[in-house]
Amino acid sequence: MSRWLLALLLHAAAAASAEPPSYHVMMLLYRGCEEACRGFQDHFGRQQVRARFTLRDADQDARRIPGFVAEARRLRPDLVVAWGTTVALETVGQWDAVDRSRHIADIPVVFMAVSDPLQSRLVPTLAGSGRNLAGTLYLLPVAEQLRAARAYLDFRRMGFLYNPAEANSLNSLQDLRAQASHFGFSLVVETLPIGANGQPSAGDIPSRIAALAAAGVDLLYFSPDSFLNSQRRLVTGEALARQMPVFAAAEAPVTQADALLGVLNRYDQIGRFTARLALRILREGAPPGELPIELPRQFSYLINLRVAHRLGRYPPLPLLDIAEIVGGPACTRTKGKACD
C-alpha cells in the first residue's frame, strides 16, 4: 500500500470518528426564555446538534439591549437570535439605516416573534433581507385574525389598548385601522401613559379598560405586546369582569389568562420553526439574506371554554370541529398556575 493511499485512509478514518461541529448561539431575549426560546433549543437537541447557548434577557427594559449587542459583537458567536421587534431592531437596525458602529452587520442573525418585519423595516421584502439577517413570521395577517374572530361572534366596536413604548403595539393599531371599514367596525383606542422609566404602568390598566367598556366596546383586541402580555391576567380579568370578550393575537392570554379566543401559532412551534432556519445557516452554509421570511402553516384556533361559560358566549358548533379547547367551566387557577 502506498504512503499516499495509507495517508488518505487514515485521514478518512479520523474524519469519520471526529465529533460533529459545535456551535455557539447567542440568544438576545426581551422577556425571558419563554416557549419560543425553549422550542428553539429543543429542536437543536432533537436534531442532536451540539451547541452552546448564551442567553441575555432585557427583562422588558430596552435600555439593556445595546449592551447585549455590543457583547455579541465582541464574542462573535456563530449565530445571534433576536427575539421580538424591539430586540431585532436594536440588534441589526432597519434595512436602510444600518449603523455598523453599533449594529451587528457581519454575524448571521435570525429573528423570531417579530410581529411585522416589513412594517418595522427589518427587511425590504419577505423574499429575503439581502443582508446578514433571516427570520420567521408568527402572526396571522390581521385580516385573517378578524375573519376568525367573526366566525365566533359579531362585533361592531372593537377596543384597543395602545402602548406607545412598543413598536408591535403601533403596528397592530395601524393594521386594525386599515381593516376597520372593510370589516364594518369602529375602533376605540385607549392609550396607556408612559412613565419616567419609558414604560407604562399596570396601575393605569383598570381605568383604561373601564373607559373602553363605557364606550360600548364589544370585543377587545389583545395585541402582541410584551408589556400587556406580562399583565395579561389583569387586562383580561378586568375585561371579563365587565363582560367584554377578548380576542388575542398570541396564546398566553387565552391559555394562561381570561381571553376568550385567539387564532395563532404557538410559541414553541415558532421556536422550532426558527431553529430549522438557523440550522440551514449553520450546517448548510445558506446565506441568511437569501432565505425567505415565512410563516408556519399550522395554526391553532384556541377557545377558553371557562371564559365562554362566564360570558355566556358559547362557540358555534362548526367551530368546535376545528378549535382547540382550553379551560373549562369548572377550571380554576391557583397560585399562578395556568388553567388549561
Q: What is the mean pLDDT of residues 264-281?
A: 95
* The predicted structure's pLDDT at residue 179: 97
Domain ranges of the chain: 3-138+267-290, 142-264+299-326
3-state SS of the chain is CCHHHHHHHHHHHHHHHCCCCEEEEEEEECCCCCHHHHHHHHHHHHCCCEEEEEEEECCCCHHHHHHHHHHHHHHCCCEEEEECHHHHHHHHCCCCCCCCCCCCCCCCEEEECCCCCCCCCCCCCCCCCCCCEEEECCCCCHHHHHHHHHHHCCCCEEEEEECCCCHHHHHHHHHHHHHHHHHCCEEEEEECCECCCCCECHHHHHHHHHHHHHCCCCEEEECCCHHHHHCHHHHHHHHHHCCCCEEECCCHHHHCCCCCEEEECCHHHHHHHHHHHHHHHHCCCCCHHHCCCECCCCCEEEEEHHHHHHHCCCCCHHHHCCCEEECCCCCCCCCCCCCC
Residue in 142, 136, 127 with CA at minimum distance from that of residue 109: 136
Q: What is the pLDDT of residue 5?
A: 43
Q: What is the pTM of this model?
A: 0.76
Kindly state the cell numbers that stand for 240. Answer: 371579563
d(CA 308, CA 285): 49
Write down the pLDDT at residue 264: 87
Q: What is the mean pLDDT of the chain?
A: 90
Query: pLDDT tens digit string along 134-166?
Result: 999 998 899 999 999 999 999 999 999 999 998
Q: How many CA atoms lie within 13 A of 116 on its CB side?
A: 20
The model's confidence at residue 18, banded by pLDDT at 50, 70 and 90, is low
Higher-pLDDT residue of 296, 159: 159
Whether domain 142-264+299-326 has CATH 3.40.50.2300: the reply is yes
Please give the average per-residue pLDDT across 231-238, as a whole number. 98
3-138+267-290: which CATH topology?
Answer: Rossmann fold (3.40.50)
> One fold for both 3-138+267-290 and 142-264+299-326?
yes
pLDDT of residue 8: 44
Q: Across residues 232-248, what is the average pLDDT?
A: 98
Per-residue model confidence (pLDDT) at position 226: 86
- Which three cell numbers, joined as nine digits, stand for 127? 423574499
Angle CA 116–122–125, to nearest 5 = 80
Residue 104, pLDDT > 70, answer: yes
Query: What is the rounded radius of gyration, in angstroms, for the C-alpha atoms of the chain?
Result: 23
